[in-house]
Amino acid sequence: MQRAEKALAAGHRNFALHLLSIVHSNLSAERYRNHPPGNSKNLSDLEKEWQKKGPELQSAAKRSNFKQIPASVRAVAEASLSEVKPLYDSSLEYGKSTTPEYGFFYLGSSQARLELARLLSTMQTQSLLKPPVFAGLANEIDAMEDAILAEYKPPASIEHHPVFIRASGLLKQAQELYAAGMHYGALYKMLDARSQLSKITDAGQSITVEETKKRAAEMSARLNQDKADHSIALIFLEFALEQPHDGEKAHAIFKNVLPHYFSALQLSKFKKQKESFVATVTLVRWPYT
């Protein structure tokens, strides 16, 4: 929250929203877990609450309406909404496998994601900026998958396993969002996955504070050229500016994240060829990890 407040004070509203979305779910879930009925230790109470919340949380994505809100707000809203049902579906089984209180935590997290999405849907604006069109987004998501698979080999796959888990989880969410027609959220999560993978592909590469400011000014000018709503790109541009002395982070944003934002806006002439074979793989995993 301190980072979000600092970003907001610096005028970095898009990055502040990104940070708020991360904090909001956990804070709300903890509050839900520590107050009735969430502080119950009885599995039967969790089952009753789970059934009670079901109709609203299972059908949340079907009633989404994110028109006339800035692209960055819509991206965060779509991403939040996409997590409601998976968190709800998982909460009861997690409570059975561990203790009811943790089931209540994830049930509360599901509810918090819906609350955040609904709040963001009210942030309508009369902006004259043109809405973005992500003609190349599908190809960019495919390219991100290829990039992760190319890097996932020893020793990196062993030494940086948590980073691969995080990046692949973000990519999976991007794929699900795209399939659901939530392209703003899909681009947001795909770019976040790019940022994560850069911790492996560009470890140790850095730029100076002066170079960060120079590239940020050039990027701002580019984003302002066509009077379109590029606020999703601003999330990551503002991320680079949040701590200007962190040259590795800034380098990753300018080299590996923002270029893919512009690629997602363009319809590529080259499409990934489908493989001639099919493999079925069954994985057991927790949502978004």
Verify that 147 and 259 share a domain, yes or no. yes
Residue 236 resides in a domain: yes
Verify that 58 and 168 share a domain, yes or no. no
Range of the domain at 36: 2-121
The whole-number pLDDT of residue 284 equals 52
The whole-number pLDDT of residue 92 equals 96
Residue 282 resides in a domain: no
Q: How many domains would you assign to the chain?
A: 2
Residue 269 resides in a domain: no
Verify that 104 and 151 share a domain, yes or no. no
Verify that 35 and 81 share a domain, yes or no. yes
Residue 228 resides in a domain: yes
Mean pLDDT, each 10-residue run in order, the chain (289 residues):
93 96 90 82 93 89 77 96 94 94 93 93 85 95 97 95 96 96 97 97 94 96 93 97 91 97 80 55 57
Residue 129 resides in a domain: no
Among residues 76, 95, 121, the one where a domain terminates is: 121
Please answer whether residues 252 and 206 qualify as being in contact, where contact means their C-beta atoms are separated by less than 8 angstroms. Answer: no
Verify that 36 and 90 share a domain, yes or no. yes
d(C-alpha 167, C-alpha 159), whole Å? 15
Residue 283 resides in a domain: no
Residue 151 resides in a domain: yes
The whole-number pLDDT of residue 36 equals 80
Residue 275 resides in a domain: no
The 10 Å Cβ neighbour count of residue 205 is 13
Task: Supply the angle between the helices 71-97 and 183-201 in degrees, to the nearest 10.
Answer: 80
The whole-number pLDDT of residue 25 equals 87
